[in-house]
Amino acid sequence: MSESIPVYKAVLYSLLLDILQTVLRMIPWSTEPGLYAVGNPDSDSPVVLTCNYDLTVRQVARVLAENDVWLVVAPSSGINVWCAAAGGHFGTHQIVTALKTCGIEAQVNHRRVILPQLSATGVLAREVSKRCGWKVRFGPAYATDLPRYLATGQKNDESMRRVHFRAFERMEMAFAWGFPMALVVVILVAPFRSNWCLPLAILIICTALAIFSLYDRIPSKPGITLSAVITGIALACVWAAGGNIGALLTALIFPGILVALLTFDYPGSTPIAGGAHFEERNWHIVVDAERCRGVFSCFEVCPEACFTKQDNPRFIYHSSPDRCIRCGACIVQCSQDALWFEDEQGQRIEPEQIRRYKLNLLGQRTINTEDQFIKPPV
């Protein structure tokens, strides 16, 4: 007879795994893609699809525990939704493949799937429908809003669509960036100066906490700012402790270089931060009044709630351009090609380029020219 694990042990294990996957989130943590039953779903139950980043899958399953839902886990290389969608690891091809192969089609009598809103920058909803007959709806930005979204007849109000960067999320990100840096520094410094390890680790984590707390007020590229602040504090500490030139150089090189390297992709790593690349060209969204048919897909997927609807005649205004992070989700989803990026000189990035090359203007994103949706369906 198999023994069941005591509840407290399961909770403790889950908590420890959450902490580990949060502080080491730069490492891909995968769940096996496939079909999972949450509660007791039947043929009419909603189908929710997410990436195969283990932390996300467990969070989604946890928040939906009181519901009866089919959960499809699609491959995203073990990366979270936002980064995987923007980087070309969680796109149309992965969604179609998951829906066609996981067995969901034999379980339900409908073809409607709810995707995370933050996947809209990489998943072309109408192409999914064309390729496999499944109708995509973009759900809330946060998994925690899924039960409310389902309970309100799958209506996404602004509080569910808009991404925030609340204190808890800032703390999570601070540890996610600070902990691996501290770990690397400790490993490198320990053989030479073991008594420095703890102060340096505390210094790096405290600085990361300070940077993320003051995130909105830090000018220029945060990666460089972070490096400069940490290096400056480290130098001051070593100097105050009577360190020699070697110690000063160590303090200068290790935190400075490591932080600069590890934070290189910092802009765009959270959906409230636009990429710092090409900032001087001021790429901005343009709405073509002639082409816009008021379908409002752009409105539904914008994580910054930059758009305002007009109902008669139907039209959309890009009313809060200052909030735009240039993720390109609105351009990807617009069926009329009525949106594009344009710079100060009037040069455009056409919608087809954005879709084909995942050419959002976030951080250092890979441009995945191998994406299958530009090839004929097989």
What Cα–Cα distance (Å) separates residue 334 from each residue in 28, 81, 126? 31, 20, 10
DSSP 105: G
Q: Minimum Å distance from CB 274 to ligand SF4?
A: 8
Positions touching ligand SF4 (CB under 6 A) are 285, 287, 292-298, 301-304, 306, 316, 324-330, 334, 336, 338-339
Q: Minimum Å distance from CB 25 to ligand SF4?
A: 23
Q: Minimum Å distance from CB 268 to ligand SF4?
A: 11
Decide: 223 and 267 in contact? Cβ < 8 Å: yes
| Distance from C-alpha of 87 to C-alpha of 81, rounded to nearest angstrom | 10
| Distance from C-alpha of 327 to C-alpha of 299, rounded to nearest angstrom | 13
Q: Minimum Å distance from CB 358 to ligand SF4?
A: 13
Q: Judged by CB, which is closer to ligand SF4: 69, or 298?
A: 298
Q: Minimum Å distance from CB 337 to ligand SF4?
A: 8
Q: Judged by CB, which is closer to ligand SF4: 231, or 333?
A: 333
DSSP 341: E
Q: Minimum Å distance from CB 90 to ligand SF4?
A: 17
Query: Which residues does residue 49 pair with via DSSP β-bridges, in sequence order?
Result: 72
Q: Judged by CB, which is closer to ligand SF4: 141, or 292?
A: 292
| Distance from C-alpha of 135 to C-alpha of 117, rounded to nearest angstrom | 14
Q: Minimum Å distance from CB 157 to ligand SF4?
A: 17
Number of other CB atoms surrounding residue 307 within 10 Å: 21
Q: Minimum Å distance from CB 2 to ligand SF4?
A: 49
Q: Judged by CB, which is closer to ligand SF4: 30, or 336?
A: 336
DSSP 27: S
| Distance from C-alpha of 275 to C-alpha of 256, rounded to nearest angstrom | 21
| Cα torsion through 235, 240, 246, 249, rounded to 10 | 10
**Complete DSSP assignment for 53-67:** BHHHHHHHHHHTTTS
Q: Minimum Å distance from CB 322 to ligand SF4?
A: 10
DSSP 90: S
Q: Judged by CB, which is closer to ligand SF4: 255, or 328?
A: 328
Q: Judged by CB, which is closer to ligand SF4: 181, or 330?
A: 330
Q: Judged by CB, which is closer to ligand SF4: 290, or 370?
A: 290
Per-residue burial over 240-271, b if 16 or more Cβ lie within 10 Å, else e, is eeebeeebeebbeebbbebbbebbebbbbbbb
Decide: 82 and 123 in contact? Cβ < 8 Å: no
- What residues contact 133, with CB distance under 8 A and at least 6 apart? 111
Q: Judged by CB, which is closer to ligand SF4: 210, or 286?
A: 286
- What residues contact 208, with CB distance under 8 A and at least 6 apart? 174, 175, 177, 178, 181, 226
Q: Judged by CB, which is closer to ligand SF4: 263, or 297?
A: 297
